[in-house]
Amino acid sequence: MTTKINTFTKFSSILLLVFVLFFSAITNLNASEHQEVATAFDHSHADANHVEDANKPIDITAIALEHVADSHSWHLWGEGHDAVALPLPVILYSSTKGLQVFSSARFEHGHAAYNGYNLAEEKIISEDPLETIYDISITKNVTQMFLSAIVLFLLFTSIARAYKIQGVTTAPKGKQSFFEPLVTFVRDDIAKGNIGHGSDKYVPYLLTVFFMILINNVFGMIPIGANLTGNIAFTLVLSVFTLIVTNINGNGAYWHHIFMPPAPKWLYPILVPIEVVGILTKPFALMIRLFANMTAGHIIVISLVGLIFVFKSIYIAPVSVAFALFIDVLECLVAFLQAYVFTMLTALFIGSAVADHNDDGVHNTDDEAIEGSKH
């Protein structure tokens, strides 16, 4: 048993060392090639991404923001003319021309106008000033969302099928061994701990939120993945779901607390607006927390690796890659932690909405104790 562990750790540490060296070598290669690409590249471009003159300092802010932002084509690797990118469909609903569907390759990275539309900094503008466009394209983030939804669906249906075949009395094997602790953690610690006895009704929603955030956080950390949880529209929708689930299931005591809090009546003009606004600020905080954590983490990693390009020297590479590795490990923790915090706070809000026996603090427990001792 101990020899098996030793060879495994030896193998994986050698693999890790080889990977780190390989990665540093690749980054050095890119750092020296960048100069030649930059001088040969004399196209004028809409995005601030490309260095047109080798002596101009590289705009790392623009590169970092471009990496965390949404895009109409899925850029894999490469720069300029030898970029490998998947063009994604553009779906527009225009007030004058109706529904338009075409590939974003027709924009040719912002050079060409197609059918009266121009792509400027990933935003589609119409040449006709009277036309309003509703952009409902399948962008990179939308594709990522579909991808992770399909992955989650396939994963969990196969795990459920395994349980159906095997039964729940034998030890789990394979994927089940990884997901069973997570699922029971959400069901017992998060749901039952915060909601109490009515928790089974909400466990599906909590599990969905937890695993959707977790898998999208993990995909966002892969170099060719898309930053979906760092998109404020996605986190907005998740927190709106939380808002809806919490308030639809709110019982009398919950609304009573908001509109008639247990406080002297003269405090109501202050307290009631605070409580009413509090209904909205709690999901708002959920939204901002997830979005900011993910986006900030990705910007840090991109900035650290981009230091190599800023200094234009290979000696920065070991330091830069070491720091980026450390931040990436922290990001793994943050990925799981943010999913946990979102789910736990959702469970907490649901718990406070459906709590049936509320001790308002109106009961004076000393009186009750005295009453009890009298019998």
Partner 1 sequence: MTGSIAAIGAGLAVIGAGIGIGQIGGHAMDAIARQPEATSKIQTAMIIAAALVEGVALFGVVVALMK
Contacts of 197 (CB under 8 A, 6+ apart): none
- Spatial CB neighbours of 26, under 8 Å, sequence gap ≥ 6: none
Q: Which two tokens stand for residue 226?
A: 């898309």
Positions touching partner 1 (CB under 8 A) are: 285, 288-289, 291-293, 295-296, 337-338, 341, 344
Closest CB 297 distance from partner 1, rounded Å: 10
CB 187 within 8 A of CB 247: no
Nearer to partner 1, 68 or 316 (CB): 68
At closest approach, how far in Å is the CB of 71 from partner 1?
18
CB of 108 to partner 1, least distance (A): 30
Nearer to partner 1, 286 or 308 (CB): 286
- Which is nearer to partner 1, 46 or 232 (by Cβ)? 232
Structure tokens at 165: 């075949």
CB nearer partner 1, residue 250 or residue 297: 297
> 29-51 burial, b if ≥16 CB within 10 A, otherwise e?
ebbeebeebbeebeeeeeeebbb
**Residue in 25, 34, 82 with CA at minimum distance from that of residue 57:** 34
DSSP-derived 3-state class of residue 85: strand
Contact 350, 194 (CB under 8 A): yes
With 0-12 CB in 10 A as exposed, 13-18 as middle and 19+ as buried, what is 257? middle
Minimal distance, residue 304 CB to partner 1, in Å: 16
Q: Which is nearer to partner 1, 31 or 301 (CB)?
A: 301
Nearer to partner 1, 254 or 291 (CB): 291
Minimum CB separation of residue 52 from partner 1 in Å reads 22
- Is the Cβ of residue 256 or residue 289 nearer to partner 1 in the bound state? 289
Q: Is 268 left (phi over 0), alpha (psi -120 to 50) or beta?
A: alpha
CA distance 40 to 352: 62
CA distance 341 to 346: 8
Q: How many CA atoms lie within 13 A of 258 on its CB side?
A: 15
What is the nearest approach in angstroms of partner 1 to the Cβ of residue 285? 6
| Residue 127 C-beta: closest distance to partner 1, Å | 29
Beta bridge partners of 184: none
CB-CB neighbours of 216 under 10 Å: 28
Which one, 272 or 288, has the nearer CB to partner 1?
Answer: 288
H/E run at residue 336: helix 316-354
Tell me the closest approach of the beta carbon of residue 287 to partner 1, in angstroms.
10
